[in-house]
Amino acid sequence: MTSHRPFCTCWPGATVWLTGAPGAGKTTVVTGLARRLEAAGRRVHVLDGDEQHALFGTGPAPGRVRCATDVHRVGLVAEVLARNGVLALVPVAVADAKQAEGVRRRHTRSATTCLEVYVDAGPEGADVPSPAPDRRDLTLPAYRLSVEESVTELVNLLKQRELA
């Protein structure tokens, strides 16, 4: 008898965009979240600065976006992945609210969920200040929480939104 892979529950796709100052812990938290969700059978893809550079030839450093065009491009790729049932995890700082709103509008037009999570590095946690976005779905106080606690907070948000 041939062994078959068990039926996998299909979840809707979504984008989870983590923003915050460089060094706040966005990539570390996303990596932990991706591992936990993949272990549970969830389709996940992390769009970090390295991939951005490979895809578009842009991006000065992992997790940092140079201009609005870069944010638009990463948002487009995330939306396409999310629209096709993948949970796109994006640990990329966004310079201003207009950029974040443009990403949200793209997702809204395709009826795809886009969550924005602010990773707060605390008063002394980052060299470059990054104001919290106006429309955030969650704030992670990374300076107070362990990586595992931050991942649990994100999983809880995804469960509340019926995405995990």
Which residues, 6+ apart, have CB-to-CB distance to 123 below 8 Å? 143
Question: According to CATH, what is the number of the domain 14-160?
Answer: 3.40.50.300
Mean pLDDT by 10 residues, the chain (164 residues): 49 91 91 95 86 57 59 91 95 83 91 94 69 81 94 96 90
Q: Where are the domains of the chain?
A: 14-160
What is the maximum alpha-carbon separation in the chain?
61
Tell me the sheet residues that pair with 141: 120
The Cα–Cα gap between 18 and 83 comes to: 18
Considering only CA atoms, give the Rg of the chain: 16
The verdict on pTM exceeding 0.95 is no
